[in-house]
Structure 1
């Protein structure tokens, strides 16, 4: 059964990611820490899959994650090879990005969001062991990434490899998803959960205020503040989410938009950044400043329009990867099966929608 509250969180996170990449507004990272929220949602889904399918859940996740990336690679890798990217064996990382796949100058910027799929892949591969540990020692397992992040932040491991840093920053949110799926967050009493969330967000806020990054109070520039602030948000969003969000489906149009963004999350995520880069020169051509409200609004709308066009063209790959019937625009009414009357088997869209792969970044 679909949880429309989680669908709503995923929709808000994806929209926030796109708007942030167009505007660069650091405040958005504080208002809604989309990255950690999305990793937490993904961790919750992964834990449920592991309980149902065991280690085979890893292959199921990869099957749903990689095809949309391959579509992007089929377009951009040849273009990068024609514009100076050396043809080396590392190009094969575009098929399975266990490490950062190579890119040339313009490609590195347009495809910069690929790092999220790399981290997602790491977390999926690590999940069987992490889930085993979590079920036996939940609190130590949950605290381990945050302890590692603190070690890195104070300089006790200066030569830490990149995977250790990414695990320290975002794997804690993934494990909070495990806790959500296990019902641990819901069972926490308000007198425990709410003060804990307040302490975490206060600590994260204090750290970023006293240690601002190159873009000011942008969580993406401050790993420790990011982890603490985001953990507080995730505790409240997942631990105290509403029991019912029927209002999401009261408006057919809004319900359809939420469904589309959930069913096409990977496509929107992978394709939005190239259009952000493509439209950036409009600032100079139109005489706007980078903070001009009209210019920003126009660019946001254009990015969503262009992403919508691409999504209509190639988004069906996500349906194929999920073994769903391909749809041009998801969420419509499906035709009744032959011999089954509409009155006999009513359409219950909100309760029976197939699951989706979570993404998001920025």
Structure 2
């Protein structure tokens, strides 16, 4: 499947490191949030700005990488905690829709004026990512409805949403390797003369490749997804789509709201 498979498999592991630090620091962050709500929420963005401008430098690239991730996404984590604590609900209703788009636009402006190229993304400019992510999450939490069940147009997707919520980490960690494997296998089909001569358009299309990626990802969910249940102290399930004794809609709805 090519020599780069190990590197590609390691790419998503930054998520585990960042998530672990967020979980370990959450008790301290919660105390700080209750004492000084907005200075605490905005502190990761300030950290990201200091790292971006060079006013704060760390000799170890491993520590620097962890701090960059915390600066980029820490404010989003704290916004979720603030939402649960009722801090965001105490803001005037007009405030978030007024300032969130402005903050997001500042993030996009910074991105466009600091070396963004067509083949890049926000990961390459952490400070811009911190502003854009903060603004987006703040606005979504402001608009987030409280439902006892899914609205009728969304109920058809209830089981799929419940599955994605229950296996989000598994899908994220394994999808990159699935893409590498699928791409490598698909490239070998060009060595089949019958396919190369008669259906080159099929081999050039990305849609069949996407289907293969999803098939492999589903296989990873079946093989490894149960670990998420064990980590959450739930009974391991093979395919947790929310259906339990004919009450799949209610279970999936609750799962969708809480993640």
Q: How does 1:120-131 map to 2 (within 5 A)?
A: 120-131=19-30
2:229 aligned with 1:319: yes
Shift of 1:219: 0.9
Q: How does 1:171-186 map to 2 (within 5 A)?
A: 171-186=74-89
2:214 aligned with 1:299: no
3-state DSSP of counterpart to 1:213: coil
Q: How does 1:75-154 map to 2 (within 5 A)?
A: 106-154=5-53
Shift of 1:258: 0.6
Q: 2:183 aligns with which of 276, 280, 284?
A: 280
Tell me the distance in 2 between the aligned counterparts of 1:249 and 1:316.
Answer: 30
On the 8 A contact 1:114/1:270 being kept in 2, the answer is: yes
Tell me the distance in 2 between the aligned counterparts of 1:192 and 1:136.
Answer: 22
Say if 1:354 and 1:240 are closer, same or farther in 2 by CA, change over 3 A: closer
On the 8 A contact 1:215/1:221 being kept in 2, the answer is: no
Tell me the distance in 2 between the aligned counterparts of 1:353 and 1:229.
Answer: 27
Q: How does 1:344-355 map to 2 (within 5 A)?
A: 348-350=250-252
Shift of 1:105: 5.5
Match of 1:58 in 2: none
Shift of 1:226: 0.6
Tell me the distance in 2 between the aligned counterparts of 1:354 and 1:197.
Answer: 24
Q: Which segment drifts farther, 294-303 or 199-208?
A: 294-303
Match of 1:258 in 2: 161
Shift of 1:205: 1.1
Say if 1:347 and 1:247 are closer, same or farther in 2 by CA, change over 3 A: closer
2:101 aligned with 1:198: yes
On the 8 A contact 1:208/1:217 being kept in 2, the answer is: no
* TM-score w.r.t. length of structure 2: 0.80
Say if 1:178 and 1:332 are closer, same or farther in 2 by CA, change over 3 A: closer
Say if 1:212 and 1:247 are closer, same or farther in 2 by CA, change over 3 A: farther
On the 8 A contact 2:166/2:240 being kept in 1, the answer is: yes
3-state DSSP of counterpart to 1:281: helix
CA offsets 1:168-224 (integer angstroms, 9 cap, x no match) = 222111111111112222332232111210110110111111123355461111111
Match of 1:87 in 2: none
Q: 1:329 aligns with which of 218, 239, 257?
A: 239
Q: 2:68 aligns with which of 159, 165, 170?
A: 165
Say if 1:324 and 1:354 are closer, same or farther in 2 by CA, change over 3 A: farther
Tell me the distance in 2 between the aligned counterparts of 1:252 and 1:198.
Answer: 30
Say if 1:332 and 1:137 are closer, same or farther in 2 by CA, change over 3 A: closer
Shift of 1:265: 1.6
Tell me the distance in 1 between the aligned counterparts of 2:254 and 2:140.
Answer: 23
Name the structure with the higher helix share: 2
Tell me the distance in 2 between the aligned counterparts of 1:245 and 1:295.
Answer: 42
Say if 1:190 and 1:305 are closer, same or farther in 2 by CA, change over 3 A: same
Structure 2 unaligned residues grouped into runs of 5+ = 191-195, 197-201
Say if 1:265 and 1:248 are closer, same or farther in 2 by CA, change over 3 A: farther
Q: Which segment drifts farther, 272-281 or 227-236?
A: 272-281
Structure 1 unaligned residues grouped into runs of 5+ = 1-103, 337-341
On the 8 A contact 2:51/2:68 being kept in 1, the answer is: yes
Say if 1:245 and 1:200 are closer, same or farther in 2 by CA, change over 3 A: farther
